[in-house]
Structure 1
Amino acid sequence: MLFDNPTLFNVLLVQALAAALLFLALSGWRSGPATRWAQACMGANALGWLLIEASANQPELARGLQTLAMVAFSAGLSALWWALQLWLLRRRGLWLMAAAPLLLGLGYGIHFHDSVSFRLAWSQAWLGLQCLMLTLSLSLPRPPQELHPDMSATAAELQPSSVSLRWRALLLSAIVPIGLICLLRAALTAAGLQDASGLANLHLTGAANSLLGLTVHWSLTAGLLGLVLAWRGEAEAELARLAQTDSLTGLADARAFAARSVALISMARRHQEPLALVLLDLDHLKAINASHGNEGGDRALALFGSCIQAQMRLGDLAGRIGPEEFGVLMARCDAQGPEALDARLRTALAQRAPAELGFELAYSGGWAKLRHGDRDIEDLKRRAETALYEAKRGGRARLQAEPGLQD
């Protein structure tokens, strides 16, 4: 059964434009970076089909318009790959996906009039290779180290894709057929088994072109549904993160800190690794509020939280667990760990506070290490608070270890 290919591809253009506009309308302008890359993918795809149709109506501009169309299709696949890096964590292939649109466009444009067979095989092979890269990104499991319980909590929470396979399956069903069609067209053209001129002009009657058009129709539908589900997962994960985040500092709030500490404590006990809790309390916050107003106090707390986040190690957990009290749970931490964090933090505060606040900041700290009889974070916290009170009684602006701690 042969289809009216001009009509088929005209309808395809309308579908591509509608899909891009619908996804933009649903996800909005103020989306996360992954969704913005997905929006770019849909927009580039629609632009590609628009340029293909324009080249059919303006033969004198065919070289430039078709070359730009191929670059747009390739750029759309690269944009989708970048979206997957944010939704599924990073894969190899950055330079390949970044260079693909440029290399495809150069080869296609330079040989546009020289060899129809070469430019068609060249462009279809590149598009097929990019689809293969996307297929691998969607189908490969996350690396084991990225599933480790003591990884950065934010990185884990912002990967809704890791627990839902529905949108990944939809995207695979959209990308795999397109990739296979592109590679098949490239192979047939390169081997001389198919007339390149017939394949290059999509409006010509032919089963191969009709199959391509129908496949793209399906891929646009499945791809749109997959991206909508991925965006929804990203939005829900971001709302969940915000619900567990202190709005002033961006750190975990007290409830989230306690919940996430369970995994770190369990891991430390399972592998018999040291773990320490450091409590930090801004000195003289009431005096800061009196001198600089509540806004000045909030700015001081926000800066302190920013310094903690910048100076803590990857894999540690930090949170604002009281009005002016912060906690850092340090995994695989020996006795020198809290002291090293304290030194980095005081240096950072000394550099940033006068420049950003106009006054200096100091804090007191106390820390305790995980012991065999500790039931949960509260047992650890009680001893760290005792050390913190000792630091305050000893003159403030110092770090104190828990009583009786043996290094």
Structure 2
Amino acid sequence: MSFTAALFALMPMQALAAALVLITLIGWHGANAGGRWAQVGMAALALGLAMVSPTHGERMAVPALHSIGLATVSLGLSALWWALGLWLTPRPGRWVMAAAPALLGMGHALLVGDHDVAQTLADVVLGAQLAWLGVALTLPQRATVLQGLNSRRWRLLGLAAVLPLLGAMLCRAAVTLLGDTAPWPDLVLALAGQLALLLALPMLLLAWRGQTEAELARLAQTDGLTGLIDRNAFTQRSVDLISMARRYDEPLALVVLDLDDFATLQAEHDMDFADRALALFASCVQAQGRLGDLAGRLAGEQFGVLMARCLPEGPQALDQRLRKALAERAPAELGMPLSFSAGWAKLRPGDRGLPDLQRRAETALYEAKRAGKGLLMAEPGVQD
């Protein structure tokens, strides 16, 4: 066996080892979606590389085996690209990446009688997939997904794996088209493949770790019952909204909402029912907010919505939408109606931050409670 053939023969074992490491460290049950696609991708690469390995001389007796192997390698690249789409911003070209394995397998099978043309087709298709993997690694990411770890580290690792392999594959395709039978393109491709598999495992593990850290950070700021952010996170994020409102001289309002007679509801029903009522109310609050509004659970049955660029009629519009949604959903999902009271206040030049704004909104809320509940009240002098 030549040195080049030995390098190609090692690739399936490297890919299989990487797949086993990913399955062991990430697990399958409970793993994030990107991690599962990475596992599938490496397993498919291992199987496909084993099927196209030059050590299988018998494949010449079964030409379809080589075509199926190339299609499986293509499937592995598509799965890795899909993982990147989940870890970063979803990329265009999903249908092309999904169709590439089948197109490569059928095209190679039809051209198997002409080895050079079939090999060139495989190199071009796989090279195009590698190029699209490189594009996915360089495009801007979705900022809210990977907060735990700077994705630049593993993206650079990914580019270091993809670009040499892409260059080697396109080089071999060009040499084959020119009719050159020199062995060096295969050697360069084998070395680039070894490097790619060596870097792929740490790249995938770092990407999975980044998404896991980001998810843990998100859960740490989320109220477990309602799915809304908790009081601390609400306070922290309000700083940016208040700063932006002051910088651009834009109106901003805080609406504080409180379920009516919640203590009575707890006394007359079990805690599970009360929790369901809170979760339903929180779901309505989240669904009826505008894009850009900040909604959170402030305490117990009290919720807050910070409304940026809010005109005077904004709180009333939110209140009406929320009451309509609650009137439709509560009887159907809980078997009884729910009511809430609300108060709102607008940001004033003298406010030191959220506490001042919240104090006035809660004062308006208590006025709504005293006035008979089920009402929205504004802070005194809101029109000033």
TM-score tier after normalising by the smaller chain length: over 0.9
Structure 1 stretches lacking a partner, 5+ long = 148-155, 199-205
Counterparts of 2:64 and 2:251, CA distance in 1: 64
* Secondary structure of 2:269's aligned partner: helix
Q: Contact 1:55 / 1:66 at 8 angstroms: preserved in 2?
A: no
Q: Which residue of 2 aligns with 1:168?
A: 155
Distance change >3 Å, CA 246–CA 69, structure 1 → 2 = same
Give the aligned residue type for 2:99: A
Distance change >3 Å, CA 71–CA 245, structure 1 → 2 = same
Counterparts of 1:337 and 1:68, CA distance in 2: 60
Taking CA–CA contacts closer than 8 Å with sequence separation of 6 or more, which of the two structures ends up with the larger relative contact order? 1
Aligned residues: 383
Q: Percent identity?
A: 51
Tell me which of 160, 166, 173 is aligned to 1:179: 166
Distance change >3 Å, CA 112–CA 271, structure 1 → 2 = farther
Counterparts of 1:36 and 1:118, CA distance in 2: 35
Q: Which residue of 2 aligns with 1:28?
A: 27
* Secondary structure of 2:180's aligned partner: coil
Q: Which residue of 2 aligns with 1:4?
A: 3
Counterparts of 2:115 and 2:148, CA distance in 1: 41
Tell me which of 241, 249, 252 is aligned to 1:275: 252
Deviation at 1:76, TM superposition (A): 2.1
Distance change >3 Å, CA 93–CA 272, structure 1 → 2 = farther
Give the aligned residue type for 1:159: L
Give the aligned residue type for 1:217: Q
Q: Say whether residues 1:86 and 2:72 are aligned partners.
A: no
Distance change >3 Å, CA 318–CA 169, structure 1 → 2 = same
Distance change >3 Å, CA 281–CA 97, structure 1 → 2 = same
Counterparts of 1:329 and 1:253, CA distance in 2: 13
Give the aligned residue type for 1:276: A
Counterparts of 1:41 and 1:299, CA distance in 2: 40
* Secondary structure of 1:326's aligned partner: strand
Distance change >3 Å, CA 276–CA 57, structure 1 → 2 = farther
Q: Contact 1:55 / 1:65 at 8 angstroms: preserved in 2?
A: no
Deviation at 1:52, TM superposition (A): 1.9
Distance change >3 Å, CA 194–CA 43, structure 1 → 2 = same
Tell me which of 268, 289, 308 is aligned to 1:291: 268
Q: Contact 1:3 / 1:210 at 8 angstroms: preserved in 2?
A: no
Q: Contact 1:71 / 1:101 at 8 angstroms: preserved in 2?
A: yes
Distance change >3 Å, CA 82–CA 336, structure 1 → 2 = farther
Q: Contact 2:47 / 2:72 at 8 angstroms: preserved in 1?
A: yes
Q: Which residue of 2 aligns with 1:135?
A: 134
Q: Say whether residues 1:193 and 2:191 are aligned partners.
A: no
167-176 or 333-342: bigger deviation: 333-342
TM-score (norm 2): 0.92
Structure 1 residue ranges, 4+ long, deviating more than 6 angstroms after superposition: none
Q: Deviations over 1:311-359 (max 9, x none)?
A: 2222221111101111111222222322222222222222222222222
Distance change >3 Å, CA 246–CA 118, structure 1 → 2 = same
Distance change >3 Å, CA 397–CA 6, structure 1 → 2 = same
Q: Which residue of 1 aligns with 2:117?
A: 118
Q: Deviations over 1:230-281 (max 9, x none)?
A: 1111111111111111111111111011011111111222222222211111
Distance change >3 Å, CA 80–CA 339, structure 1 → 2 = farther
Deviation at 1:288, TM superposition (A): 1.4
Q: Contact 1:366 / 1:401 at 8 angstroms: preserved in 2?
A: yes
Tell me which of 346, 364, 374 is aligned to 2:351: 374
Counterparts of 1:311 and 1:320, CA distance in 2: 15
Distance change >3 Å, CA 249–CA 111, structure 1 → 2 = same
Counterparts of 1:61 and 1:374, CA distance in 2: 82
Counterparts of 2:288 and 2:122, CA distance in 1: 48
Q: Say whether residues 1:302 and 2:279 are aligned partners.
A: yes
Deviation at 1:175, TM superposition (A): 1.0
Distance change >3 Å, CA 336–CA 124, structure 1 → 2 = farther
Q: Which residue of 2 aligns with 1:402?
A: 379
Give the aligned residue type for 2:157: L
RMSD, aligned α-carbons: 2.3
Deviation at 1:219, TM superposition (A): 0.8
Counterparts of 1:308 and 1:122, CA distance in 2: 55
Q: Deviations over 1:30-65 (max 9, x none)?
A: 111222222222122112113224992543664332
Q: Which residue of 1 aligns with 2:219?
A: 242
Q: Which residue of 2 aligns with 1:228?
A: 205
* Secondary structure of 2:299's aligned partner: coil
Q: Contact 2:260 / 2:338 at 8 angstroms: preserved in 1?
A: yes
* Secondary structure of 1:374's aligned partner: coil
Give the aligned residue type for 1:102: A
Q: Contact 1:24 / 1:39 at 8 angstroms: preserved in 2?
A: yes
Counterparts of 1:209 and 1:402, CA distance in 2: 76
Tell me which of 222, 226, 229 is aligned to 1:252: 229
Q: Contact 2:7 / 2:194 at 8 angstroms: preserved in 1?
A: no
Give the aligned residue type for 2:137: L
Q: Contact 2:11 / 2:46 at 8 angstroms: preserved in 1?
A: no
Q: Contact 1:388 / 1:400 at 8 angstroms: preserved in 2?
A: yes
78-87 or 214-223: bigger deviation: 78-87
Distance change >3 Å, CA 308–CA 3, structure 1 → 2 = farther
Counterparts of 2:261 and 2:157, CA distance in 1: 56
Counterparts of 2:198 and 2:353, CA distance in 1: 49
Counterparts of 2:96 and 2:312, CA distance in 1: 45
Deviation at 1:194, TM superposition (A): 3.0
Deviation at 1:3, TM superposition (A): 4.7
Structure 2 stretches lacking a partner, 5+ long = none
* Secondary structure of 2:118's aligned partner: helix
